[in-house]
Amino acid sequence: MNQYLILQHPGHNRVYFNYSGELALGELHIACTKLEIEFEKLEIIEIERIRYISLKTNNIITEKELEYLSRLSFIFAIFKANTDENNQISLTPVPVFQYEYVDNKISTILKYAGKTNESFTKMMVNIALLSSDFSYEDTIELLDPVAGKGTTLYEGMVYGFNVAGIEIDKKPVHEMSAFFKKYLETERYKHTADKRQIFGKNRSEAVYIDEFEYSVNKEDFRSENLRHTLSMVNGKAQEASNYYKNSQFHLIVGDLPYGISHGSSTNEKSNSNTRNPLELLTLSLPHWDKILKVGGVVVISWNTFIIARHRLFDVFTDNGFTILNDYPYNNFEHMVDKSIKRDFIVAKKTS
């Protein structure tokens, strides 16, 4: 039997940290299942008052498995534990795989009211991929239909995915585009930027997309397969299939509006009809179903103080999705602050 001890990334706020052990166990469980790692036990343990996630496996973890595990949202350091005849534990560091296509600082630079925690976003992206029929080796297309200023998009970029967002408010779209253009220039990534109308017959109906193509070096940019895309539509989640192609996306991941206002930047008027997750999902899922590939997955988080988990199930099943609801999928609910208790649903398009 082999034991690995994992130190969790300290990038969580204090309230969230208390729950983050359970969330990490869940994410690790889903990863081990996908990778077919035979594990005896996953648990939280303390050694000298330091908390570790403990993974006991039947076999030594292979390099390929380590490459996948390194991407999990909570990984800070991994150790192989050895217990001697006197029950003394010694820890040997296991090198964590460097997988980032772009530096992960991209999703941490911007700080703003209403931003979704980066580690939480990364966890949703991972769980979406690990629950789908696809892997990190595929050229993944990821959509966040309620994108805000793009945390999900940036987390996807770090994995080298092509990423797309829809956001109803003009201001975050504008700020996100300006930030991203500046980022590409500062990092000296080869890129093109384009803004064009993608929907609407007249000026009042016009919907615009900001689209970037980029690659981290000039050589890659010459080849269409090695170029990456980021696009952002200033439009509505419930009209997604007007903007994007049928079966375009492998993953749809988003953090729905929380039903509370995050300062003056929120445009209450344009959001007022979409503050209720059930309403938004009822209108949106037929569209998301069209643009998602078979084998693809939707992961949506929301504030359970607004609506209970089980009340969202029917709208997914009515649209042909299969909800993954066995442990650990049913164990991710956690407090964020006194007005937000967050959970997420993982739903797969199986046919």
Ligand X SMILES: C[S@@+](CC[C@H](N)C(=O)[O-])C[C@H]1O[C@@H](n2cnc3c(N)ncnc32)[C@H](O)[C@@H]1O
Contacts with ligand X, residue ranges (CB under 6 A): 114-116, 145-146, 148-152, 166-169, 172, 236-238, 255, 257-258, 271, 274, 280
For 26, list phi and psi in degrees, rounded to 5.
-65, -45
Min dist CB 95 to ligand X, Å, is 31
R_g (Cα) of the chain, nearest Å: 21
* CA distance readout (Å), 117 to 11, 130, 147, 277: 9, 20, 13, 19
- Cis peptide leading into 328, omega within 30 of 0? yes
For 248, list phi and psi in degrees, rounded to 5.
-75, -35
For 46, list phi and psi in degrees, rounded to 5.
-120, 135
Min dist CB 322 to ligand X, Å, is 24
Residues with Cβ within 8 Å of 278's Cβ and at least 6 positions away in sequence, in order, are 307, 311, 312, 315
For residues 154 and 316, which CB has a smaller minimum distance to ligand X in the complex? 154
For residues 118 and 141, which CB has a smaller minimum distance to ligand X in the complex? 118
Min dist CB 124 to ligand X, Å, is 10
Min dist CB 282 to ligand X, Å, is 12
The token pair at 136 is: 């990190």
Min dist CB 115 to ligand X, Å, is 4
For residues 68 and 258, which CB has a smaller minimum distance to ligand X in the complex? 258
Q: Write down the residue that tokens 């990364």 correspond to.
A: 122
For residues 81 and 237, which CB has a smaller minimum distance to ligand X in the complex? 237
For residues 172 and 328, which CB has a smaller minimum distance to ligand X in the complex? 172
Min dist CB 102 to ligand X, Å, is 17
The token pair at 341 is: 């208790």
Neighbouring C-beta atoms of residue 234, cutoff 10 Å: 21
Min dist CB 236 to ligand X, Å, is 4
Q: Which residue is nearest to ligand X (CB)?
A: 148
Q: Write down the residue that tokens 């615009």 correspond to.
A: 208
* CA distance readout (Å), 190 to 184, 217, 218: 8, 6, 6
SS3 per residue for 227-255: CEEEEEECCCHHHHHHHCCCCCEEEEEEE
For residues 26 and 145, which CB has a smaller minimum distance to ligand X in the complex? 145
Min dist CB 168 to ligand X, Å, is 4
For residues 67 and 279, which CB has a smaller minimum distance to ligand X in the complex? 279
Residues with Cβ within 8 Å of 67's Cβ and at least 6 positions away in sequence, in order, are 97, 99
For residues 6 and 280, which CB has a smaller minimum distance to ligand X in the complex? 280
